[in-house]
Chains A and B, each alone.
Chain A
């Protein structure tokens, strides 16, 4: 979640508005991290942690596209009769309400409704004075998850039913975990496709905005992002766990927007955290 002093934040936080790695579907990241069994009862949980991140990539605010952060993160999930509420998971929506419509040994299908965080505004940076504030989108869609041994495949499609962007985002992710002694490794790789409407709302510059700012007019286009990560989780005690991860992905395509102050074709990053499980 972004604070009001958003321009002080790194590109890591900035890009998470709508385009951070795996933000369009990746709640399977937690399943991989915690080595969850596909036939397990969904877990109610709340966790809070301290995390440190270093990232290099495209940025709206940083001229060099390099950022570091140390912060506090929290997330949780509550499940009741196949309904669930996820808060602060690794998706583009900080709050997701869903219903597990189907579950078999190998497949699961969820209907999901989530609200994304907002986008750019004049509070982001003085450069954006004159840019109309991008509001959050309410994404309604479905996600299908397949379990094949230690591999998890997830495809999803979501559409903005609130009508602000009227955009559609689809993604496909493949993840796997494996254990080496008490170190639990996991990897994720995926593609995310955002349609022109979605990108145009968040990254486009209208003629009116162009006239009031130094940005050239720009129409958003369909974009395809590649995301990947490798991480490890180590149980320190029954309540504490240590995590570390490295991320690599593509930024090209959507970062053609003049709103970016630094454009890089690829992003890389590392992160680590210590998390307390309640």
Chain B
């Protein structure tokens, strides 16, 4: 159903644009300060249209440690190294997040398996998927 208001077209168009800008802007306006032993991800949430879809998001992860050393950022479910650094105590990586589930990342000393700090990029969605049971004719 539709209600139309042509005379409010300019005002509402402007409001529409402002709303989009606020929404898109808000995802990049959090978490710029990195403290010791901390991981910061921007943004922390990736929104897909429907549950089960691969969600795509450009993510920035920053980290800081007290000691200089060799560190790796690891995706913990696959244990894939996203990036490794040598003789530093801070780092930043920008990568394309692509997943249909939430993923957790950890910062580790190179060749060690202890997570010094972790962060989770959450995948959420607008529409949930729930399978229906097999069915057949119900009327005839």
A residues adjacent to B (C-beta < 8 A): 1, 3, 8-10, 13, 16, 34-37, 39-43, 50-52, 68-75, 82, 87-88, 94, 99-105, 111, 179, 181-182, 184, 233-242, 272, 274, 277
Contacts and interface: CB of A to CB of B under 8 A. Distances in A.
A35 B49 contact: yes
B126 A68 contact: no
Contacts of A74: 1
8 contacts: A1-B2, A34-B126, A40-B132, A88-B2, A100-B138, A182-B49, A236-B24, A237-B23
Contact of A274 (B3, B16, B54, B131): B16
A220 to B, nearest CB: 26
Contacts of B56: 181-182
Nearest to B12: A70
B136 A34 contact: no
B4 A241 contact: no
A104 B138 CA distance: 11
A69 B6 contact: yes
Contacts, number: 135
A236 B125 contact: no
Contacts of A101: 137-140
B138 A82 contact: yes
B108 to A, nearest CB: 30
A103 B53 contact: no
B20 interface: yes
Contacts of B47: 182, 235-238
Q: Which of A39, A52, A239 has the most CB of B within 10 A?
A: A39
B48 to A, nearest CB: 6
B66 interface: no
A103 B132 contact: yes
Nearest to B132: A41
A41 B131 contact: yes
Contacts of B140: 101
Given A71-B3, A73-B1, A239-B126, 13 more contacts: A1-B1, A1-B3, A10-B4, A35-B53, A41-B130, A69-B6, A69-B9, A70-B5, A72-B3, A88-B2, A102-B137, A179-B53, A238-B47
Interface of B: 1-6, 8-9, 12-13, 15-16, 19-20, 23-24, 47-50, 52-57, 124-132, 134-140
The 8 closest A-B CB pairs, nearest first, are A71-B4, A88-B1, A101-B139, A181-B56, A1-B1, A70-B9, A41-B132, A69-B4
Given A102-B138, A274-B19, A68 B9 contact: yes
A40 B126 contact: no
Given A1-B2, A34-B50, A236 B132 contact: no
A84 B46 CA distance: 32
Contacts of B49: 34-35, 179, 182, 184, 233-235, 241
A71 B134 CA distance: 40
A20 B35 CA distance: 58
A71 B2 contact: yes
Contacts of A1: 1-3
A41 to B, nearest CB: 4
Contact of A111 (B9, B126, B127, B139): B139
A58 B4 CA distance: 19
Q: Which of A36, A82, A100, A182 has the most CB of B within 10 A?
A: A182
B31 to A, nearest CB: 17
A238 B125 contact: yes
A108 to B, nearest CB: 9
A88 B8 CA distance: 22
B88 to A, nearest CB: 32
Contacts of B135: 102-104
Contacts of B126: 34, 235, 237-239, 241, 277
Nearest to A71: B4
A9 B125 contact: no
